[in-house]
């Protein structure tokens, strides 16, 4: 048998969500039961079943403010997804009390060669205005696109580094440059499961001794035309009527659940070996105690329709529990994906019921999508950050938009104090990958 | 203390040089080229007009039921063909694993191909030139009238996973990573790590990718990374040659079956070779440039060799260098080939010049996310046959590049241990060490 892996703790939780920058802003909004769902600021989405999205407001997040002065020029080649990742990393490193290259002074507290980075990313959409203004220069007389004109002149209207905004690994590229992470680095692209899978991979990398610390999680923006359209085609959107209150649209586990809205956000954590975190005097906020991954059977091959019995989700949860050396009885709260898409909710409900048995109705569920929508590759790590905060505060945030959760503890409720020792987080993805993590208080 | 040994029991590929292991291998050893004018779209006026395309490919010849995969995009189609070969060579079609939850997938699959005509058409239809913006309402109207759910969802990079999971009933850990040109090497390395840790018995690993499409070629042309050679396309890719001028795009997929030795032996499978080392690092240097000393590349190679228990400076028992073949990243760009050479010299010191190191990208082009997977398979074959493939088009020696790049002709070399390198745009570096299997 392999030697016992090192234990892994969380020392920083960085988030940029539609509630703002920093886990404090997200936590406060969740406890107040707010929703950031609103009409899209950047595009008129009136041609879709809903004009609503959950966007990070410009007044609450400025990418230029989260990079070192010497790196500010690079923000020109950052897509929205990259900005969110860089912002989340900034917050995570700050909370972890790490001194990295980004500080531009003082000596770094993590050797670059021992510092890894695993970031989940989505299919990054090209900025439509930038691309189309270039495409429009290569049109034939009838208005159609002219490949010949594009090849000779049109493409020159795109900045030479254009493609570098859209390669999924550029999130990690920028974060590793800013914080000088020269250790193992990966970019996981498994839809909404991406950031929990990244946390799992960092946990293994640290566990086997290939790094002492990792910036880990994910980020994505779906609040653009292509993101909106793919959510529509995947039957994830809530159709809304004119005049409908956006704050009430996303209703996880409710009988009247009708879908979700695209969101955007980043969650990056600092994970560290328990021993090296202790050696530098860091505060371990919680332990990443267990991780599991699995693949669901996709009847439609694409995974638009989830496995109805949630068996793949069950497999991931059971693997995570076994990895943590626990059974379901030790879990005091659950953060499922909770999209409010009825077929996805049903699969998650089936999985929770199967894993928790008679206790399924008694374990509090924390729901995030009513407030922040579907943050894609950022979703799992934002959830993990909320889990850490809940453990630290010994408190459950408020829930909204669910009059009756039909047998789960997921109905609307104000925030309340609770005894929490361990929180289970899981995200299934479009495509059928499942990831689950057990986050535990430091005993 | 002892981690399980991990062996390769199956290999498969779909490449610009063919769709079967033996035929493609023969063409590689003959130094044949897969480059020709681009046929997937009208690239005649582009700075680069050629690529290495997969030709005459029909996924239905490989899968159990083509109807199940009717919506598959090109990446998924390539992956299904390559993985089906590997699955069969491993004998898993005859002895399917008992517990599907012990069968995992780790791919380095690229993003899918945009529905170019409809996407560009919708954008132009909704373009408000006066405002300089795309009108969202008009865009939705145009796009929803012509785009289709399957085509859009298939562009998600995790869709090849969904197809393979379906084809092989794999329900274990499933990951897709996308670290540009390093992706499938990293996928094989992480799959190897998952098996070593005991989280699965069997992993299908590899990559699949095409970027031979409007915005792919445009993007690389704008970066001036592609060869813009004006002569015979088969002479355009010139890794390690003084007159090298950029890479040539390829496409396709390489897939392998990895399993624990115990699992392979229990079902009577024949190990083709053993994976013994994996190293990963990040340049953390600049978004466009590689660290000039090859620091990251060297760190990845050193980590992989350390795990394999190989001292890069010590000759083996037969007096040979400790590695007998390096499958180079060898893209044919000025920067990569110089820095990779520097990194190899940094790792192997005096012995570097004695190790044959070639780039099959000179023949099948750069398969981007899938590059590492086909190059890894080349290492498996080099060990099997004692032959190393050449670097085609190496006509003009570069005085700064003084390693043995196996110019223009394959060579008979007794190979027992190989290193396969890939370095991603964006700074990720990955190396694998693969060794002849000895029970």
pLDDT digits (tens, 9 = 90+) for A119-162: 999 999 999 999 999 999 999 999 999 999 999 999 999 999 99
Q: Which residue in B106, B68, B103, B62 sits closest to B84, CA to CA?
A: B62
Q: Do B119 and B131 touch, CB atoms closer than 8 A?
A: no
- Which residue in the set A123, A173, A191 is minimally distant from B426, CB to CB? A173
Tens of pLDDT, residues B373-406? 999 999 999 999 999 999 999 999 999 999 999 9
CA–CA dist A335, A196 (Å, integer): 12
Comparing C-alpha atoms, which of B108, B19, B104 is closest to residue B59?
B19
Q: Distance from A196 to chain B by nearest Cα, in Å?
A: 11
Residue of A nearest to B219 (CA): A163
Q: Is A426 helix (H, G, I), strand (E, B) or coil?
A: strand
CA distance A146 to chain B (A): 9
Span A95-118, pLDDT tens digits: 999 999 999 888 999 999 999 999
The verdict on B186 touching A (C-beta cutoff 8 Å) is yes
Residue A301 confidence (pLDDT) above 90: no
Residue A412 CB coordination number (10 Å): 17
Report yes or no: B17 and B364 within 8 Å, Cβ to Cβ: yes
Residues 6+ apart with CB under 8 A from A4: none
Q: Do B287 and A184 touch (CB under 8 A)?
A: no
Specify the residue for token string 């969650």: A267
Digit-coded pLDDT (tens) for A152-162: 999 999 999 99
Most B CBs within 10 Å, among A160, A169, A229, to test the B interface: A169
Name the token pair of B386: 């004692």
Report the C-alpha gap between B315 and A347 in whole angstroms: 57
The model scores a pTM over 0.95: yes
Report the C-alpha gap between B124 and B118 in whole angstroms. Answer: 10
Of residues B413, B411, B409, B433, the one with CA closest to residue B421: B433
What pLDDT is stored for residue A2 in this prediction? 45
Which residues of B participate in catalysis according to the annotation? Answer: 181, 329, 366
Q: Report the CATH fold assignment for A8-125+166-440.
A: Peroxisomal Thiolase; Chain A, domain 1 (3.40.47)
Q: Which residues of A touch B280 (CB under 8 A)?
A: 184-186, 210
Q: Helix or strand or coil: residue A400?
A: coil
- Partner-chain contact B44 A145, CB within 8 Å: no
Tell me the three state secondary structure of residue B229.
Answer: coil
Residue labelled with tokens 């997937």 = B40
Q: Which residues contact A239 (CB under 8 A, 6 or more apart)?
A: A49, A50, A258, A259
Q: Do A293 and B162 touch (CB under 8 A)?
A: no
- Exposed, middle or buried by CB within 10 Å (0-12, 13-18, 19+), for B140? buried
With contacts defined as CB-CB under 8 Å, which chain A residues touch B176? 188-190, 433
Residue A4 pLDDT grade (very low, low, confident, very high; cuts 50, 70, 90): confident
Residues from chain A that touch B43, judged by Cβ atoms under 8 A, are: 147, 151
* C-beta separation of A64 from A75 below 8 A: yes
B interface test, pick of A1, A137, A184 with most B CB neighbours within 10 Å: A184
CATH 3.40.47.10 maps onto chain B at: 7-114+155-435
- Do the chains contact at A148 and B42, CB–CB below 8 Å? yes
Distance of residue A395 Cα from the nearest chain B Cα, in angstroms: 32
Contacts of A147 in chain B (CB under 8 A): 41-45, 214
Inter-chain CB proximity A298 and B296 less than 8 Å: no
**Residue B362 confidence (pLDDT):** 98
Whether A239 shows a pLDDT value over 60: the answer reads: yes
Look at residue A136 and give its three-state secondary structure.
coil
Determine, for residues B45 and A169 on separate chains, whether the beta-carbon distance falls below 8 Å: no
E strand residue ranges, B2-85: 6-14, 35-37, 50-52
Across the interface, whether the CB atoms of B178 and A210 are under 8 A apart is answered no
Residue B139 with chain A: CB contacts under 8 Å = 43, 47, 128, 225
Give me the helix-helix angle, A379-393 and A23-32, nearest 10°.
Answer: 70
CB A368 within 8 A of CB A33: no
pLDDT band at A303 (very low <50, low <70, confident <90, very high): confident
CB contact under 8 A, A301 and B135: no
Residues B356, B412: Cα–Cα separation, whole Å: 11
Angle at B176 between CA A127 and CA B156, to 5 degrees: 40
| Interatomic CA distance for residues A434 and A296, integer angstroms | 7
Contact across the interface for A294 and B120, Cβ inside 8 Å? no
DSSP B384-412: HHTEE--BTT--SB-TT--S---BSS-EE
* Structure tokens that stand for B435 in this block: 């060794």
The C-alpha of A58 sits at a distance from chain B's nearest C-alpha, in angstroms, of 19
* Residue reference for tokens 């699949």: B208
| pLDDT value of position A3 | 55
If you average pLDDT over every residue of chain A, what do you get?
A: 96
Among chain B residues, CA nearest to A118: B177
* Alpha carbon distance B357, B341 (integer Å): 10
C-alpha separations of B211 from A222, A375, B162, B318, B377 in Å: 23, 27, 20, 44, 21
Number of A–B residue contacts, CB under 8 Å: 304
Mutate to test the interface with B, among A122, A189, A196 (most CBs of B within 10 A): A189
> What whole-number distance in Å separates Cα of residue B71 and Cα of residue A117?
34
What parts of chain B have a pLDDT lower than 70?
1
Residue ranges of chain A assigned to CATH 3.40.47.10: 8-125+166-440
B215 contacts chain A (CB < 8 A): yes
Distance of CA B356 to the CA centre of its chain: 20
CB contact (8 A) between residue A225 and residue B162: no
Best mutation target, B165, B180, B192, to test chain A (most A CBs within 10 A):
B165
Q: How confident is the model at residue A298 (pLDDT cuts 50, 70, 90)?
A: confident
Question: How far A251 CA lies from chain B's nearest CA (Å)?
Answer: 24
| CATH, domain B7-114+155-435, list 3.40.190.10, 3.30.70.260, 3.20.20.140, 3.40.47.10 | 3.40.47.10
Q: Which B-chain residues 402-421 have CB contacts (< 8 A) with chain A? A: none
Which residue of chain A comes nearest to B424, CA vs CA? A169
Each residue's pLDDT tens digit, A425-436: 999 999 999 999
Cβ contact (<8 Å) for B287 and A48?
A: no
Interchain contact, A169 vs B121, CB within 8 Å: no
Q: Using the predicted structure, report yes or no on whether residue A1 has a pLDDT greater than 80.
A: no
Q: If DSSP codes are grouped into helix, strand and coil, which group holds residue A160?
A: coil
Name the DSSP letter for residue A224: S
Could you give the CA distance from residue B78 to residue B83 in angstroms, rounded to a whole number? 9
Region A65-81: mean pLDDT is: 96
User: How many degrees, rounded to 5, is the angle at CA B46 between CA B43 and CA B48?
Assistant: 90
Quote the minimal CA–CA distance from A92 to chain B in Å: 18
Q: Which residues pair with B255 in a beta bridge?
A: B12, B206
B 88-127 → A contacts, CB under 8 A = 101, 104-105, 109, 111, 117, 120-121, 123-124, 126-127
User: Is this complex's ipTM strictly greater than 0.95?
Assistant: yes
Measured between alpha carbons, how far is A7 from A217 in angstroms, rounded to an integer?
A: 18
Nearest-CA distance B175 → chain A (Å): 7
Residue A346 above 70 pLDDT? yes
Residue A443: per-residue pLDDT: 73
Q: How many CA atoms lie within 13 A of B428 on its CB side?
A: 35
Q: Is the pLDDT of residue A302 over 90?
A: no
Taking an 8 Å cut-off on Cβ atoms, the answer to whether A208 and B197 are in contact is yes
Asked if the Cβ–Cβ distance from A234 to B149 is below 8 Å, we say yes
- Those residues whose C-beta lies under 8 Å from the C-beta of residue A324, and which sit 6 or more positions away, are A289, A290, A330, A422, A438, A440
Check pLDDT > 60 for residue A313: yes
How close B38 gets to chain A, by Cα (Å)? 13
B245 close to A (CB below 8 A): no
The DSSP bridge pattern shows strands B417-423 and B325-327 to be parallel
Interface of B with A in 260-319 (CB under 8 A): 280-288, 295-296, 299, 303
CA distance linking residue B324 with residue B310, whole number of Å:
12
């Amino acid at each position: 048998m392999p030697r016992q892996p090192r234990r892994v703790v969380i020392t920083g939780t960085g988030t940029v969500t539609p509630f703002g920058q920093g886990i404090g802003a997200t936590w406060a909004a969740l406890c107040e039961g707010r929703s950031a769902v609103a009409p899209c600021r950047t595009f008129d989405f009136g041609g879709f079943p809903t004009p609503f999205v959950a966007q990070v407001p410009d007044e609450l997040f400025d990418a230029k403010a989260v990079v070192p002065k010497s790196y500010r020029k690079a923000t020109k080649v950052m897509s929205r997804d990259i900005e969110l990742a860089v912002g989340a990393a900034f917050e995570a490193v700050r909370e972890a009390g790490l001194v990295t290259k980004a500080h531009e002074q003082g000596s770094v507290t993590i050797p670059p060669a021992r510092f890894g980075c695993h970031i989940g990313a989505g299919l990054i959409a090209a900025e439509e205005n930038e691309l189309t203004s270039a495409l429009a220069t290569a049109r034939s007389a009838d208005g159609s696109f002219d490949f010949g004109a594009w090849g000779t002149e049109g493409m020159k209207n795109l900045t030479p580094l254009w493609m570098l905004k859209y390669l999924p690994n550029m999130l990690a590229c920028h974060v590793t440059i800013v914080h000088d992470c020269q250790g193992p680095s990966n970019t996981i692209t498994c839809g909404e499961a991406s950031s929990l899978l990244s946390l799992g991979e960092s946990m293994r990398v640290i566990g086997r001794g290939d790094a002492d610390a990792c910036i880990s999680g994910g980020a994505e923006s779906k609040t653009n035309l292509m993101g909106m359209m793919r959510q529509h085609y995947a039957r994830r959107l809530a159709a809304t009527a004119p005049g409908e209150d956006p704050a009430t649209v996303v209703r996880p586990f409710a009988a009247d659940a009708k879908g979700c809205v695209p969101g955007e956000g980043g969650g990056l954590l600092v994970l560290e070996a328990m021993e090296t975190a202790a050696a530098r005097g860091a505060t371990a906020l919680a332990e990443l105690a267990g991780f599991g991954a699995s693949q669901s059977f996709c009847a439609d091959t694409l995974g638009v329709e989830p496995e109805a019995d949630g068996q793949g989700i069950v497999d991931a949860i059971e693997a995570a529990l076994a990895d943590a050396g626990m059974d379901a009885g030790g879990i005091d709260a659950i953060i499922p994906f909770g999209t409010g898409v009825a077929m996805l909710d049903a699969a998650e409900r089936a999985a929770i019921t199967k894993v928790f048995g008679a206790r399924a109705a008694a374990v509090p569920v924390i729901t995030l999508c009513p407030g922040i929508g579907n943050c894609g590759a950022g979703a799992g790590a934002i959830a993990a950050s909320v889990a850490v905060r809940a453990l630290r505060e010994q408190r459950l945030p408020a829930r909204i938009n669910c009059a009756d959760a039909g047998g789960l503890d997921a109905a609307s409720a104000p925030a309340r104090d609770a005894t929490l020792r361990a929180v289970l987080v899981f995200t299934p993805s479009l495509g059928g990958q499942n990831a689950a993590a057990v986050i535990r208080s430091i005993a | 203390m002892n981690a399980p040994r991990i062996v390769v029991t199956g290999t498969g590929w779909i490449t610009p040089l063919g769709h079967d292991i033996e035929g493609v291998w023969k063409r590689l050893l003959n130094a044949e080229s897969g480059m020709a004018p681009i046929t997937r779209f009208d690239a005649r006026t582009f700075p680069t007009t050629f690529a290495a395309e997969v030709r005459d490919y029909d996924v239905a010849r490989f899968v159990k039921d083509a109807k199940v995969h009717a919506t598959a995009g090109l990446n998924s189609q390539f992956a299904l063909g390559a993985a089906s070969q590997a699955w069969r060579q491993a004998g898993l079609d005859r002895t399917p694993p008992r517990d599907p939850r012990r069968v995992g997938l780790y791919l380095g699959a690229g993003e899918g191909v945009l529905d170019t005509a409809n996407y560009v058409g919708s954008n132009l239809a909704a373009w408000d030139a006066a405002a300089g913006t795309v009108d969202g309402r008009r865009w939705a109207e145009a796009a929803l009238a012509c785009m289709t759910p399957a085509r859009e969802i298939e562009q998600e990079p995790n869709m090849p996973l969904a197809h393979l999971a379906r084809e092989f009933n794999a329900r274990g850990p499933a990951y897709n990573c996308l670290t540009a040109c390093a992706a499938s090497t990293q996928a094989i390395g992480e799959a190897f790590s998952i098996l070593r840790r005991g989280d699965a018995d069997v992993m299908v690993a590899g990559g699949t990718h095409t970027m031979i499409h409007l915005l792919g070629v445009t993007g690389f042309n704008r970066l001036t990374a592609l060869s813009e050679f004006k002569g015979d396309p088969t002479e355009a890719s010139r890794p390690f040659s003084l007159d090298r001028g950029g890479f040539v795009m390829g496409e396709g997929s390489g897939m392998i079956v990895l399993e624990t030795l115990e699992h392979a032996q229990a079902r009577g499978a024949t190990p083709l070779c053993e994976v013994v080392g994996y190293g990963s690092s990040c340049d953390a240097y600049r978004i466009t440039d590689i660290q000039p000393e090859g620091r990251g590349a060297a760190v990845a190679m050193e980590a992989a060799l350390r795990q394999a228990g190989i001292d890069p400076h010590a000759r083996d028992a037969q007096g040979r260098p400790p590695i007998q073949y390096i499958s180079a990243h060898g893209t044919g760009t000025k920067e990569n080939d110089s820095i990779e050479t520097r990194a190899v010299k940094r790792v192997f010191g005096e012995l570097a010049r004695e190790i044959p190191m070639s780039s099959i990208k000179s023949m099948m082009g750069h398969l981007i996310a899938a590059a590492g997977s086909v190059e890894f398979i080349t290492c498996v074959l080099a060990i099997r046959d004692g032959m190393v493939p050449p670097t085609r088009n190496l006509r003009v020696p570069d005085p700064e590049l003084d390693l043995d790049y196996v110019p223009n002709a394959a060579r008979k070399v007794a190979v027992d241990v190989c290193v396969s390198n890939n370095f991603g745009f964006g700074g990720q570096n990955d190396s694998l060490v693969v060794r002849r299997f000895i029970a």
